[in-house]
Amino acid sequence: MIHIEHLHKSYGSGAEAHEVLHDINLSIDSGEVFGILGSSGAGKSTLVRCINLLERPTSGNVLIDGKDITGTTGKALAEVRSNIGMIFQNFSLFQQRTILRNVTFPLELNHTPKAKREERARYLLDLVGLGDFADRYPSQLSGGQQQRVAIARALANNPSIMLCDEATSALDSTTTAQILDLLRRINRELNVTLVIITHSLSVARNICDRVAMIDGGRIVEMGDTEQLFANPQSDILKTLIADAAIENHRHHDDATETTATEKEQQA
């Protein structure tokens, strides 16, 4: 369980200080798929980076399974981080390493013996559907395949939590659906708690059990995904849902027009 209490985060100090997260409070249950939805600049990445302490909260606390991790450093911090995998929009693979050696990398850091780390990496590459790609390099893979490698690497240390920061934002809609399916499977089969950061309503709707809507560094509403989308309370979510409906309508009209033109051409 992830528990965030009265978290504030400022960048800069003194007169330059600029608070980007204001009094964030939330709890994410073990095994849950939890969405953090918001527009660009809302503070989503900053918030998620406070969970694995890539950013230090200015004040407030982060608890994982009841343990306050906010002040951890050194070896204890490394242990906290090995329990939290993370994936990004741009995949962030090591270009000079093969796929296999991308996945073994976290295991090299904690001195897992070579045979054992390769065995684990091959198991994970099979799991994400890339068993035959072990000896290739990232540049030889599609975006969706690269994100699968990043997912395998994030799972190397058998984490109980995975943070996904705009993990599908660089991918087309078909590939997005495939990656979301894979993440769902990892959640169900490996019981990994997922924190899904996204600006996309459809991603949040597709995969999240619950969603927190964040705007201007504040949680403006939070709840069950279906309930939230059926009955939005905040102006920002109401607007996003209305915009998405207009956009859908336009696609629908485009599709109908194409069909009409095709029919004309066939006639």
Ligand X SMILES: Nc1ncnc2c1ncn2[C@@H]1O[C@H](COP(=O)(O)OP(=O)(O)O)[C@@H](O)[C@H]1O
> Rule CB under 6 A: which residues touch ligand X?
11, 20, 38, 40-46
**Minimum distance of ligand X from residue 100's CB (angstroms):** 31
Place of tokens 């490996």: 190
Q: Which residue is nearest to Mg ion (CB)?
A: 45
> Which of the choices ligand X, Mg ion, none does residue 95 contact, using the CB cut-off of 5 to 8 A by kind?
none
Which span sits near Mg ion by CB under 5 A: 29-37, 43-51, 72-80, 222-230?
A: 43-51
Length of the chain, in residues? 267
> What is the nearest approach in angstroms of Mg ion to the Cβ of residue 217?
12
- Identify which of residues 90 and 112 has a Cβ nearer to Mg ion in the complex: 90
Q: Which does 41 bind (CB under 5 to 8 A by kind): ligand X, Mg ion, none?
A: ligand X
Burial group, residue 69, by CB count within 10 angstroms (0-12, 13-18, 19+) = buried
- In whole angstroms, what is the distance from residue 60 CA to residue 78 CA? 21
Shortest Cβ distance from residue 236 to Mg ion (Å)?
A: 16
The tokens describing 20, both together, are 């980007």
CB 199 to Mg ion: min, Å: 8
Q: Are 1 and 64 in contact (CB under 8 A)?
A: yes
Residue 73 binding target from ligand X, Mg ion, none, CB below 5 to 8 Å by type: none
Nearer to ligand X, 8 or 122 (CB): 8
**Chosen residue from 20, 45, 130, 204 binding Mg ion by CB under 5 A:** 45
Chosen from ligand X, Mg ion, none, partner binding at 210 (C-beta under 5 to 8 Å by type): none
Contact yes or no for 160/192 (Cβ under 8 A): yes
From residue 247, alpha-carbon distances to 166, 173, 191, 243 in Å are: 21, 15, 35, 6
Contact region for Mg ion (CB under 5 A) — 14-22, 39-47, 122-130, 147-155?
39-47
Separation of first and last alpha carbons in the chain: 62
Q: Which is nearer to ligand X, 24 or 141 (CB)?
A: 24
Residue 8 has phi, psi (to 5 degrees) of -120, 145
> At what angle are helices 143-154 and 114-127 packed, to 10 degrees?
130
User: Which partner from the list ligand X, Mg ion, none does 38 bind, CB cut-off 5 to 8 Å by kind?
Assistant: ligand X
DSSP notation for 143-164: HHHHHHHHHHHHTTT--SEEEE
Residue 161 · residue 64 · CB < 8 Å: yes
Nearer to ligand X, 118 or 221 (CB): 221
Question: How near is the Cβ of 91 to ligand X at its closest, in Å?
Answer: 17
Give me the least distance between CB of 165 and ligand X, in Å please. Answer: 7
Q: Is 147 in the site for Mg ion (CB under 5 A)?
A: no
Comparison of 103 and 163: residue with beta carbon closer to Mg ion? 163
Distance CA 267, CA 255 (A): 18
CA distance 203 to 36: 11
State the Cα–Cα distance between residues 104 and 60, nearest whole angstrom.
Answer: 35
For the bound state, the minimum distance from the C-beta of residue 60 to ligand X, rounded and expressed in Å, comes to 16
Write out the residues near Mg ion by the rule CB under 5 A: 45
